[in-house]
Amino acid sequence: MCQLNVFSLLCAVYVLSAVRADLRFASYYGSHMVLQKAPEQAVLWGYGSNEYKVTVFLVGELEFHSQVVDVQNGTWRVTLPPQTAGGPYNVTAIQQDAQVTLTDLLFGDVWLCGGQSNMAFPLSQVFNASAEKAQAAKYPDVRIFMAALELSQEELIDLRKVQMPWSVPSADLVGNFSAVCWLFGRYLYKILGYPVGLVESCWGGTPVEAWSSTRALQKCGLDGLEMEDKRFFYIASLPNKYGPSPKRENSVLWNAMIHPFLNMTIKGAIWYQGEDNTAYHLDKYACSFPAMIDDWREAFHLGSGGQTALDFPFGFVQLCTYNKSAESDSFPELRWHQTADYGFSPNPRMNNTFMAVAVDLPDEKSPWGSIHPRDKQDVAYRLTLGARAVAYGEKGVAFQGPFPVNVLLKGDLITVTYTQAVSVAPSKSAFEICCTKEINPCNSNSTWLPAPIMQWGHSYVQVSTATCENAVAGLRYAWRDWPCDFKACPVYSDDEELPAPPFTINRWP
């Protein structure tokens, strides 16, 4: 204890400084941030001394709210009353004589953007990058935040580092921010008309296992498995280079870059990942990806005290292309597994999800490698359509391309009837038939022959089976790594906006 002597003033300054050093918000709160609007309630938390209570003030032009909370194990937490979209607000935390204030806060919808290199792909590298960056100043209410790249063997309660604190967008800042995330938020803002907060937490060259908790991995028989296969696939930052990487260890990115956010209330998430899993646990992805979504939803719901919805909307990008001459079926198989083997989203296994099909957006001349196509505008736009329909319940918004509802084999023709009107272009090879002498389900090792499109109508396509001398046992569409040129797949929606996703169907299960 400090004694009353000539050093008493210095001692008092020391005690006050210690309290001040303890009092702070968690790493991902900051001035200029967006907090989740009503009907959900935003959660704030931070650090302080166990000896004193913390008072938190929310102050806006027409709003004043205060809340007093205890500090337990060095942390405090408050759940704010629901706030309508808008701002600005200030939030101040006070403990004894110390205080910390966050300014220029807005209430709106907070979206988390995760995945690997195509989500991390910055706006400065897209087509028309200069024009896209110049748009940033027009959207001051679309705020951005980026987590730093970190690994952890244990679940962290807070981020170790922040790459980009909450910021009002500028050309330079958005140039270094995820293009898909930024464009999604920008397009969404134009529809919603209120603030949007974007949280980027992604890392190139990473499989779904790294982003999944032990709980999720256990559901797919993956718990405890090391990345034993040393024939590693591409590393996003070094195309065509191979080698082991610590960021491919199970759960290390969930622990360091997702778990810390659980206390934050969010509206939803978008995801662009899967390239790495084309060569690692490919056969497990139909389980591991939906399991990760389920687990994230439960964890965010519990972490936010029930404020983040238990089934919060989750959008994802179905993989684009990589190798134009690839013989492997790993990319089409991964695309299929992204949908839990249904071929479309949402589906009975993946409720409240939406998918942006990207198979028709190849970029053979991308300076970042063909696996990193530069057209992120169409990707983000298609995600926005899904968000409008699924997350916001907007009626009349088409967000899914045509998908087969009936397949009929008659004579030398197969008639594929779709869920909607279609726009069709001739193709000799986009459709393929499985030709076999045995009554067995078809797979990638079966004999597949081209099934040329013969004719089409309002909502159907007819393909020829004349090349098959045996029984037709299966049909598939766009089942290649690179099935078509840019926006030139054979089947689209009637308005030619949304491509039909790949599918495969067996005659005999």
pLDDT tens string 39-56 = 999 999 999 999 999 999
* Cis, peptide link before residue 260, omega less than 30° from 0: no
> What is the C-alpha separation between 408 and 9, in angstroms, rounded?
89
pLDDT of the residue at 206: 96
pLDDT of the residue at 245: 67
* Cis, peptide link before residue 490, omega less than 30° from 0: no
With cut-offs at 50, 70 and 90, classify the pLDDT of residue 508: confident
pLDDT of the residue at 440: 85
Stated as kind and residue range, the H or E segment containing 336 is helix 330-338
> What is the C-alpha separation between 495 and 497, in angstroms, rounded?
5
Q: How high is the mean pLDDT of the chain?
A: 92
Give me 209's structure tokens: 């296992």
> Which three-class secondary structure state does DSSP give residue 199?
strand
> What is the C-alpha separation between 209 and 253, in angstroms, rounded?
9
Q: For residue 47, give the DSSP letter.
A: E
> What is the C-alpha separation between 459 and 442, in angstroms, rounded?
26
Residue 307 has pLDDT above 50, yes or no: yes
Computed on alpha carbons and rounded to an integer, the radius of gyration of the chain in Å comes to: 26
pLDDT in tens, 258-287: 999 999 999 999 999 999 999 999 999 999
pLDDT in tens, 157-191: 999 999 999 999 999 999 999 999 999 999 999 99
Strands 460-464 and 413-418: antiparallel
> What is the C-alpha separation between 379 and 226, in angstroms, rounded?
33
pLDDT in tens, 184-238: 999 999 999 999 999 999 999 999 999 999 999 999 999 755 544 433 333 333 3
- Quick one: average pLDDT of 431-459? 94
> What is the C-alpha separation between 23 and 21, in angstroms, rounded?
6
pLDDT of the residue at 347: 98
Regarding pTM above 0.85, the answer is yes
